[in-house]
C-alpha cells in the first residue's frame, strides 16, 4: 500500500466515525444554544454539569472502546467467531459498568453545592445532572454495539443514527425547554429530559439494526450469556479500564478547570462553556481519526504486518494534525463572532473570544494526543498512556493554569494556557512512544 492508499483508507473509516462523534457532541451544542436563549445562569449550570457528567461517564466510554482493537485484530486474523464472542463479553462488561456509573453520577449531583459555585447555578445544575444520569445505560448500550460495528470497519449505521438523533433531540428540547403541546416550560431540566429520551431511542435503534443486519450475521452478534470466559472479561477490563481512566484524567482536568473558572464568576464560566463547546466539536471529529487509527493498527497487528502498522499509525497522526491546524485558523479568524451564536452578553462574548484564541493554539496538540492515544490502543498499549496523562494534566497543566489564572490574575485565559501546556506534553509523548513501540518490528 502507498501512503495515498493509507490516507484514503483512514479517511474512509474516519469520516463516518467523525460524523457520528459529531452527532453526539452536537446534542450538547444544541442543548447549550437553546438553553442559552433563556439566560446566562442555565448556560453556566449546563457547563458545570456537562463537565461533571462526562467526568464519570468517560470511564465507561473508555471501557467500551476496549472491544474495538480486539475485534479488529480478530477480523484481521480472519477469526469471525472471536468477533461475536468479544461483543457478547463486552455487553456483560459494559452493562455492569453502566449500572455502577449511573449510581455514581446520581450521587455526584449531591456534591455540587460544595463546589463553591453561585447559588443560582447550583439550583439548576442538580436536577439537570440527576435526569441525565438515567441516560447512561442507554448510552453504554449504544457504545457497545457501535464499537462492534466500527471494529468490523462498518461505521456508517451508528453515524446515521447519531445524526438523525440530533433532529429528535432538538425537537424534544423545543417541547420541554420552552413548553409546547400543553407541556409546561422546564428550562434546563427539560433539556435533560430530551437528551435522556433521545439516548434510549438511539440505543434501541442500533441494537435492532445489528440484530437484523445480514452483513454481520457471520460474526454471530446475538446475545449469548452462556459459556462466559473469565479470561476474556479480564482482558476487556484490562484494556478498557486504563483507557477509561486515561480519558477520566483528561476530562477531569477540563472539569476542574471549569470549577476554577466558576470561582471567578458565572460570566467567565459561561464563556468557558462556549469555547469548550466549540473545541469539543473539533475534538469529536479528531476522535474519528483516532478510532480509525485504532481499527487499522489493530487489523494490521492481527495480520502481523508491522510495516503497515507504522504507516497506518503515522497516517492517522498526520491527518489529525492537518485537520486541527485548519480548525485553529477558523477559530482565530472568527473568534469574535462565533460566541454570538450562544449568547448576546457582550462581556461573555469578549471572554469567550479570548479563549478561542487559546483553543486555536492547542488544536494541533489536541489532534496529536487524541490520535496518539488511538493508535497506541490499537497496539493494546494503554497503561503507559495513562501515566503520561496523569503527569501532563495534573502535574503540568492544572498547576500552571492555576498559577497563571490566579497569581498572575489572567483569569480564564490563564487556566486555558495551562491546559495548552498539558496537551502539548501528551501529544508529543504519545507520538514518540508509538515510534518506539513499532520501530523494532518493521
Residues 70/151, Cβ–Cβ less than 8 Å: yes
**CA–CA gap between residue 20 and residue 157 (Å, rounded):** 9
Distances 153 to 68, 80, 90, 147, 296 between C-alpha atoms, Å: 10, 13, 17, 10, 9
Q: Which domain range does residue 92 map to?
A: 3-437
**Cα(51)–Cα(33) distance, integer angstroms:** 17
How far apart are alpha carbons 30 and 25 in whole angstroms?
9
Signed CA dihedral, 97, 103, 106, 109: sign only: negative
What's the predicted TM-score (pTM) here? 0.82
Neighbours of 100 (CB within 10 A): 13
| CA atoms within 13 A of residue 308's CA, in its CB half-sphere | 19
On whether residue 380 sits in a domain, the answer given is yes
d(CA 344, CA 40): 10
Yes or no: say if 283 and 362 are a contact pair by the CB < 8 Å rule. no
Query: Is residue 10 included in any domain, yes or no?
Result: yes
Q: Can you tell me the distance from the alpha carbon of 31 to that of 60, in angstroms, rounded to the nearest whole number?
A: 22
Per-residue pLDDT of the chain (442 residues; tens, 9 = 90+): 678 888 898 888 888 888 887 787 778 778 777 887 787 788 888 878 877 887 788 888 889 988 889 998 888 888 888 888 889 999 999 999 999 999 988 988 888 888 777 788 888 888 999 999 999 999 999 999 999 998 888 989 999 999 999 999 989 988 888 878 878 777 788 888 999 999 999 999 999 999 988 888 888 888 877 778 889 899 999 988 898 898 888 888 887 898 898 888 888 888 888 888 888 778 877 888 998 999 999 989 888 888 899 999 999 999 999 999 999 999 999 999 999 888 888 888 999 999 999 999 888 899 999 999 999 999 989 999 999 999 999 999 999 999 999 988 888 899 999 999 999 999 999 999 999 999 876 5
> Does 381 fall in a domain?
yes
As for how many domains the chain has, the answer is 1
On whether residue 442 sits in a domain, the answer given is no
> What is residue 18's predicted lDDT score, i.e. its pLDDT?
82
Judge whether 22 and 285 are in contact, CB under 8 Å.
yes
The residue whose grid cell reads 469548550 is 276
Q: Has residue 390 been placed in a domain?
A: yes
Residue 193 forms part of a structural domain: yes
Residue 225 CA, chain-centre distance (Å), reads: 29
Does residue 43 belong to any structural domain of this protein? yes
Do residues 161 and 200 lie in contact, with contact meaning Cβ atoms separated by under 8 Å? no
What DSSP character marks residue 114? G
Angle ∠(329,335,337) on CA atoms, nearest 5: 125
The answer to whether residue 96 is domain-embedded is yes
Amino acid at each position: 500500500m502507498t501512503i495515498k492508499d493509507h490516507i484514503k483508507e483512514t479517511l474512509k473509516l474516519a469520516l463516518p466515525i467523525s460524523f457520528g462523534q459529531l452527532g453526539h457532541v452536537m446534542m450538547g451544542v444544541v442543548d447549550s444554544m437553546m438553553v442559552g436563549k433563556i439566560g446566562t445562569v442555565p448556560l453556566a449550570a449546563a457547563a458545570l454539569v456537562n463537565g461533571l457528567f462526562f467526568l464519570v461517564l468517560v470511564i465507561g466510554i473508555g471501557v467500551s472502546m476496549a472491544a474495538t482493537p480486539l475485534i479488529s485484530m480478530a477480523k484481521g486474523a480472519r477469526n469471525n467467531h472471536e468477533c461475536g464472542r468479544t461483543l457478547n463479553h463486552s455487553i456483560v462488561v459494559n452493562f455492569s459498568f453502566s449500572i455502577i456509573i449511573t449510581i455514581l453520577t446520581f450521587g455526584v449531583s449531591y456534591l455540587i453545592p460544595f463546589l463553591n459555585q453561585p447559588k443560582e447555578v447550583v439550583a439548576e445544575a442538580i436536577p439537570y445532572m440527576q435526569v441525565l444520569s438515567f441516560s447512561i445505560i442507554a448510552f453504554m448500550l449504544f457504545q457497545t454495539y457501535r464499537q462492534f460495528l466500527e471494529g468490523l470497519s462498518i461505521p456508517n449505521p451508528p453515524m446515521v443514527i447519531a445524526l438523525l438523533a440530533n433532529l429528535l433531540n432538538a425537537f424534544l428540547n423545543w417541547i420541554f425547554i420552552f413548553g409546547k403541546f400543553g407541556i409546561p416550560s422546564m428550562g434546563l431540566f427539560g433539556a435533560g429530559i430530551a437528551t435522556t429520551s433521545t439516548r434510549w431511542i438511539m440505543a434501541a435503534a442500533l441494537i435492532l439494526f445489528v440484530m437484523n443486519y445480514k452483513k454481520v450475521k457471520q460474526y454471530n452478534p446475538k446475545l449469548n450469556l452462556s459459556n462466559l470466559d473469565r479470561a476474556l472479561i479480564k482482558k476487556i477490563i484490562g484494556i478498557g479500564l486504563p483507557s477509561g481512566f486515561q480519558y477520566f484524567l483528561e476530562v477531569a482536568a477540563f472539569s476542574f478547570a471549569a470549577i476554577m473558572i466558576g470561582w471567578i464568576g458565572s460570566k467567565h464560566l459561561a464563556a468557558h462553556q462556549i469555547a469548550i463547546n466549540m473545541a469539543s466539536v473539533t475534538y469529536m471529529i479528531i476522535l474519528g481519526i483516532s478510532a480509525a487509527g485504532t481499527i487499522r493498527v489493530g487489523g494490521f497487528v492481527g495480520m502481523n504486518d508491522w510495516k503497515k502498522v507504522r504507516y497506518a499509525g503515522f497516517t492517522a497522526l498526520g491527518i489529525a494534525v492537518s485537520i486541527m491546524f485548519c480548525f485553529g485558523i477558523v477559530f482565530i479568524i472568527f473568534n469574535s463572532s462565533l460566541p454570538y451564536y450562544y449568547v448576546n452578553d457582550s462581556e461573555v462574548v469578549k471572554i469567550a473570544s479570548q479563549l478561542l484564541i487559546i483553543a486555536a493554539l492547542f488544536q494541533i496538540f489536541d489532534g496529536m494526543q487524541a490520535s496518539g492515544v488511538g493508535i497506541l490502543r490499537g497496539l493494546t498499549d494503554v497503561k503507559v498512556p495513562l501515566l503520561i496523562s496523569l503527569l501532563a494534566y495534573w502535574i503540568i497543566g492544572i498547576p500552571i493554569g492555576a498559577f497563571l489564572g490566579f497569581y498572575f490574575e489572567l483569569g480564564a485565559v490563564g487556566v486555558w494556557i495551562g491546559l495548552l501546556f498539558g496537551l502539548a506534553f501528551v501529544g508529543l509523548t504519545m507520538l514518540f512512544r508509538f515510534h518506539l513501540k513499532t520501530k523494532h518490528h518493521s
